[in-house]
Amino acid sequence: MISPQRRREIIDALRRGTVPRRGLDAFAVGTDRFAAAFDDELATAAASGAGFKAVRGEYGSGKTFVVRWLAERARTQGFATAEVQISEGETPLDHLEAVYRRLCERLTTADTAGGALRSVVDSWFFALHEDVVAAAGTALPGDAEAVLAATDALTEQRLGVVSARAPALAAVLRGYRRALADGDTARAEGLLAWLGGQPHVAASVKRAAGIRGDLDHDAALAFLAGLLTILRGAGYAGLVFVLDEVETLQRVRSDARDRALNALRQLIDEVDQGRFPSLYLVITGTPAFFDGPQGAQRLAPLAQRLHTDFTTDARFDSPRAVQLRLAGFTVEGLGEVGRRTRDLYADGAADPNRIRSACDDDYLALLAKAVTGDLGGRVGVAPRMFLKKLVGDVLDRVDQFPDFDPRRDYRLTIVDSELTAVERNARAATSVDEIDLDLQ
């Protein structure tokens, strides 16, 4: 049974038209078929291996949903997770330092939703400290300076190869530890921010720790490797790192796009070469990104790495393959998600029976048809809007007004301003051929 708070979070997210961040198992449809393969691959990553997966589907097919569901599952298995939406302006793939910064901002563990970097680093130092104290027996604990020095040495040693490639990483960690020991929280904050790839850290703070400049593209990869070491040292099984909406790179200027494709290839190659132990890297994209002329096909080694057989009946798609294909919703599928959402809502309502009867399965099917019809008959595009309307327009009213009957009192209205670009396109298109699903 899901907690009332989780339930509220889910309902709130659906009402806003977004994918909930947690509690997805409570209304997930069809994700079970991926569970065994995911669990296997996560177990490999947890054993200091690594993994890579590409989730593929058209707009609305559930890519973001599946990766959040996976991340949540991974967190229950001891992983930290981070999801970054690739976008041209803020997090372009050809600037891995921007992607790394967002990763650190989004870092989530079972008990910290976002911004978990500090608690991870602190846990790591705590574990180091324990080891230092244990190794020294009774000799050291009274002598703070000696403990710090020993911790510094162990920091370097634990970071191992990573430290050799990015000496600044050990320097910033040492500086952070010192700043904490000195009670200088401003300096500690600044160094943690720098570790997380933030620009604009005061020069004086950096100077004190012996570091310079900001993190660049190459350093970001070394820091990612460092973060994995820290995560494992802090007791986590590894990191599930999601790059969502990779298809957006198709639309950027050709030089930036080619750099982005190359960055992706480099990242995947280095995962394969074992440079990122305990990393499970996941990307999502539309079929156009994987197969079209502006996407992965532009870079032969990337296309080769992503290649998956989709000529066999989809029923036999292997979840162990590098690409997972999401089929997109059917009207029945929408009905199923609608029922789960309604039941979830009813479980937390004052009068569950009224919710179930006023919004029965037949009504759900009716609403699904109406939303689909409004969006140019494109059922695949409809789920977000369907769930938004179901919660915000129908269930909320049934819950609050005892005499509200959706069949009698509600007429579906969708205004352009609440639609995403793809949804607006689907609605405006008079024939299926006019729909440009790669817009987003």
Ligand X SMILES: Nc1ncnc2c1ncn2[C@@H]1O[C@H](COP(=O)(O)OP(=O)(O)O)[C@@H](O)[C@H]1O
Which residues contact Mg ion (rule: CB under 5 A)? Answer: 63-64
Q: How far is the CB of 297 from Mg ion (least distance, A)?
A: 22
Instruction: Find the binder of ligand X among 179, 337, 349, 437 (CB under 6 A).
Output: 337
Minimum gap (Å) between residue 402 Cβ and ligand X: 28
30 binds, among Mg ion, ligand X, none (CB under 5 to 8 A by kind): ligand X
Q: State the residue number with the nearest CB to ligand X.
A: 62
Q: Work out which of 23, 51, 60, 226 binds ligand X, going by CB under 6 A.
A: 60
Nearer to ligand X, 178 or 384 (CB): 384
Place of tokens 């280095």: 270
Work out which of 11, 19, 209, 224 binds ligand X, going by CB under 6 A.
19
Binder among 6, 53, 63, 259 for ligand X (CB under 6 A): 63
Which pair of structure tokens corresponds to residue 22? 């947690």
Please tell me the distance from the alpha carbon of residue 271 to that of residue 18, in angstroms, as a whole number.
31
- 81 contacts 108 by C-beta, under 8 angstroms: yes
CA-wise closest residue to 24 among 57, 53, 2: 2
Residue 124 binds ligand X, judged by CB under 6 A:
no
In terms of CB distance, is 190 or 383 closer to Mg ion?
A: 383
Interface residues for ligand X in 362-401 (CB under 6 A)?
383-384, 387
Binding segment for ligand X (CB under 6 A), chosen from 60-68, 274-282, 297-305, 424-432, is: 60-68
Give, as ranges, the residues between 276 and 295 that touch ligand X (CB under 6 A): none
Contact by Cβ (8 Å): 241, 279? yes
Coil/strand/helix, residue 87: coil
Any contact of residue 2 with ligand X (CB under 6 A)?
Answer: no
- Smaller CB distance to ligand X: residue 59 or 176? 59
Residue 406 in contact with ligand X, rule: CB under 6 A: no
31 binds ligand X per the rule CB under 6 A? yes
Beta bridge partners of 320: none
Rule CB under 6 A: say whether 249 interacts with ligand X. no
* Nearest by Cα to 225 from 263, 275, 155: 275
Closer by beta carbon to Mg ion, 245 or else 399: 245
DSSP element (H, E) containing 268: helix 254-272
Q: How far is CA 327 from CA 36, 56, 173, 313, 330, in A?
A: 19, 9, 46, 12, 9
**Residues 336-363: b if buried by 16+ CB within 10 A, e if exposed:** bbbbebbebbbebbeeeeebbebbeeeb
- Calculate the alpha carbon distances from 418 to 4, 105, 358, 394 in Å: 28, 28, 26, 17
Q: For residues 115 and 105, is the Cβ–Cβ distance under 8 A?
A: yes
Shortest separation between residue 429's beta carbon and ligand X, angstroms: 18
Q: Which of 22, 38, 42, 62 binds ligand X (CB under 6 A)?
A: 62
- Is residue 59 part of the contact set for ligand X (CB under 6 A)? yes
Pick what 60 binds: ligand X, Mg ion, none; C-beta below 5 to 8 Å, kind-dependent. Answer: ligand X
Cα gap 404→49, rounded to integer Å: 56
Nearer to ligand X, 250 or 278 (CB): 250
CA distances to 115, 180, 308, 406 from 201, rounded to whole Å, are: 17, 17, 44, 55
DSSP letter assigned to residue 108: B
Q: Which of 34, 65, 100, 176 binds ligand X (CB under 6 A)?
A: 65
Q: What's the closest the beta carbon of residue 307 comes to ligand X, in angstroms?
A: 21
Residue of 80, 70, 122 lying closest to 104 (CA atoms): 80
Cβ closest to Mg ion, residue 57 vs residue 238: 57
CB 315 → ligand X: shortest distance, Å? Answer: 17
Residue 28 in the binding site for ligand X (CB under 6 A): yes
* CA–CA gap between residue 16 and residue 20 (Å, rounded): 10
Stretch that binds ligand X, among 29-37, 172-180, 208-216, 361-369 (CB under 6 A): 29-37
Look at residue 284 and give its three-state secondary structure. Answer: strand
Q: How many residues bind ligand X (CB under 6 A)?
A: 18
Residue 314 CB, nearest approach to ligand X (Å): 15
In the complex, the residues that contact ligand X under the rule CB under 6 A are 19, 27-31, 57, 59-65, 337, 383-384, 387
